[in-house]
Structure 1
Amino acid sequence: MEEECIQELQRVLPELDSLEFTALVQHLTAELGLTKKEDLSLVEADDLQGHLKPILCRRFIHAFKPKALDAIDQFIALSTLPNEETASAPNMDTQLTDGQANITLPPCAQPHSSRLSSTPQNSWISHFQIPWGKMPEKLVEATLGKKRARPEDRRAWKRIVVDAMLAHCPNPNKAACEEIAKVIVSKYPSTFADANEEGEQIGIGYYSLARQMKQRVEHVNRNNVSEKVRRPRSSTETTDGDGAIIKMGRSKVDSYGCINWQPKVLPEGENIESLENRRKYMADLFKSFGPTAVDRPDVDESMRLTYMYQRHMLNSCPPPSIDVIEEHWPFLFTKRGLSNHFKILTGIDVCDRAAGALQSKGKRIINFFQRKNPNRDIQRLLQELAESNTMLQSRTGIAAVLLLMKRFREQEDSIFLLADTNATKLSIETDMTLPATPRLIMLGNTVLDATKWMVSMEGKVAFVLEEHLGFADALSIFFGCFYVFNIEYQEPACATLELIQRFFMRINPEEGTKCTAKTGLSRKTGAVVKRKAEAINSNVVSFLRELTEFEWSSLD
Structure 2
Amino acid sequence: MDVECIQELQRLLPELDYEKLMVITEHLSSVVGVTKKEDLAFIEKDDFKTFLTPIQCRKVIQAFKQKGLNDSREADVSCVQNEQTRPSSSMDTRLTDGHAKLTPPQAQYHFPGSSLTKTQNSWISQFEIPWDKMPASLSQALLRGQRAHPADRRLMVRIVVAAMQKHCTNPNRAGCIEIAKMIVSKYPATFLDKTEQGEQLGMGYFSLVNQLKTRVEHVNRNNVSDRIRRPPTMKNASNATITKTVRCKVDSYGCTNWQPKAFPDGETVDSLEDRRKNMVAIYQSTGPRAADMPDIDNSMNLTYIHQRQMINSCPPPSIDLIKEQWPFLFTKRGLCAHFKTLTDVDICDRVGEALQNKGKRIIHFFQRQTQNREIRGILQDIDTTVTQQSQTGIAAILILIKYFLEKDDSIFILADQTATKTSIEKDMNLPATPRLIMLGHTFLSSTKWMVSIEGKVAYVLDEHLGFADALSVFFACFYVFNLEYQEPACATLEFIQRFFARINPEDGTKCTATTGVSRKTGEVVKRKATSINNRVSSFLCQLTEFEWKNLD
Task: Identify whether the pair has TM-score above 0.5, normalized to the shorter chain.
Answer: yes
In the TM superposition, residue 518 of structure 1 has moved relative to its aligned partner by 0.6
What is the TM-score normalised by the length of structure 2? 0.81
After superposition, give the CA deviation of every residue in 1:381-424 in whole Å (9 maximum; x if it has no partner).
Answer: 11111111151x20000000000011001000000000000000
After superposition, give the CA deviation of every residue in 1:106-136 in whole Å (9 maximum; x if it has no partner).
Answer: xxxx999999996222122122222122222
Tell me the equivalent position of 1:120.
Answer: 119
Tell me the equivalent position of 1:77.
Answer: none
Tell me the equivalent position of 1:143.
Answer: 142
Tell me the distance in 2 between the aligned counterparts of 1:340 and 1:112. Answer: 43
Tell me the distance in 2 between the aligned counterparts of 1:530 and 1:379. Answer: 31
Tell me the distance in 1 between the aligned counterparts of 2:321 and 2:144. Answer: 56
Equivalences for 1:285-296 in 2 at 5 Å?
285-296=282-293
3-state SS of paired residue (1:368):
helix
Which of 440, 461, 464 pairs up with 1:465?
Answer: 461
1:327 lines up with 2:328 in the alignment: no
Contact persistence 1:238–1:519 (CA under 8 A)? no
Tell me the equivalent position of 2:342.
Answer: 345
Contact persistence 2:45–2:57 (CA under 8 A)? no
Q: 1:465 to 1:61 in 2, by over 3 A?
A: same
1:317 lines up with 2:314 in the alignment: yes
Amino acid at match of 1:356: E
Q: Percent identity?
A: 61
Tell me the distance in 2 between the aligned counterparts of 1:320 and 1:72. Answer: 46
- Unaligned runs of at least 5 residues, structure 2: 1-42, 75-100, 108-115
Contact persistence 1:291–1:331 (CA under 8 A)? yes
Tell me the equivalent position of 1:249.
Answer: 246
Tell me the equivalent position of 1:102.
Answer: none
Amino acid at match of 2:547: E
Tell me the distance in 1 between the aligned counterparts of 2:234 and 2:70. Answer: 37
Contact persistence 1:12–1:63 (CA under 8 A)? no
Q: 1:226 to 1:492 in 2, by over 3 A?
A: same
Contact persistence 1:194–1:208 (CA under 8 A)? yes
Equivalences for 1:215-364 in 2 at 5 Å?
215-234=214-233, 246-364=243-361
Equivalences for 1:397-416 in 2 at 5 Å?
397-416=393-412
Tell me the distance in 2 between the aligned counterparts of 1:383 and 1:238. Answer: 50
Which of 497, 503, 508 pairs up with 1:507?
Answer: 503
Q: 1:181 to 1:478 in 2, by over 3 A?
A: same
After superposition, give the CA deviation of every residue in 1:134-157 in whole Å (9 maximum; x if it has no partner).
Answer: 222111111111111110000010
Tell me the distance in 2 between the aligned counterparts of 1:131 and 1:112. Answer: 31
Q: 1:66 to 1:439 in 2, by over 3 A?
A: closer
3-state SS of paired residue (1:536):
coil
Amino acid at match of 2:486: Q
Q: 1:440 to 1:246 in 2, by over 3 A?
A: farther
Amino acid at match of 1:297: P
Tell me the distance in 1 between the aligned counterparts of 2:188 and 2:103. Answer: 19
Amino acid at match of 1:277: D
Contact persistence 2:60–2:102 (CA under 8 A)? no
- Greater mean alpha carbon deviation, residues 407-416 or residues 129-138: 129-138
Which of 363, 378, 381 pairs up with 2:378?
Answer: 381
Contact persistence 1:194–1:205 (CA under 8 A)? yes
3-state SS of paired residue (2:171):
coil
Q: 1:66 to 1:328 in 2, by over 3 A?
A: closer
Tell me the equivalent position of 1:87.
Answer: none
Q: Please identify runs of 4+ aligned residues in structure 1 that moved more than 2 A.
A: 7-17, 55-73, 110-118, 231-240
3-state SS of paired residue (2:123):
helix
After superposition, give the CA deviation of every residue in 1:86-113 in whole Å (9 maximum; x if it has no partner).
Answer: xxxxxxxxxxxxxxxxxxxxxxxx9999
In the TM superposition, residue 536 of structure 1 has moved relative to its aligned partner by 0.5
Amino acid at match of 2:222: N
Amino acid at match of 1:500: I
3-state SS of paired residue (1:529):
strand
Amino acid at match of 2:187: Y
- Unaligned runs of at least 5 residues, structure 1: 1-6, 18-51, 74-109
Tell me the distance in 2 between the aligned counterparts of 1:277 and 1:291. Answer: 19
| Count of paired positions | 476
Equivalences for 1:365-444 in 2 at 5 Å?
365-391=362-388, 393-444=389-440
Contact persistence 1:239–1:517 (CA under 8 A)? no
In the TM superposition, residue 248 of structure 1 has moved relative to its aligned partner by 1.4
Tell me the distance in 2 between the aligned counterparts of 1:283 and 1:270. Answer: 19
Which of 542, 553, 556 pairs up with 2:538?
Answer: 542
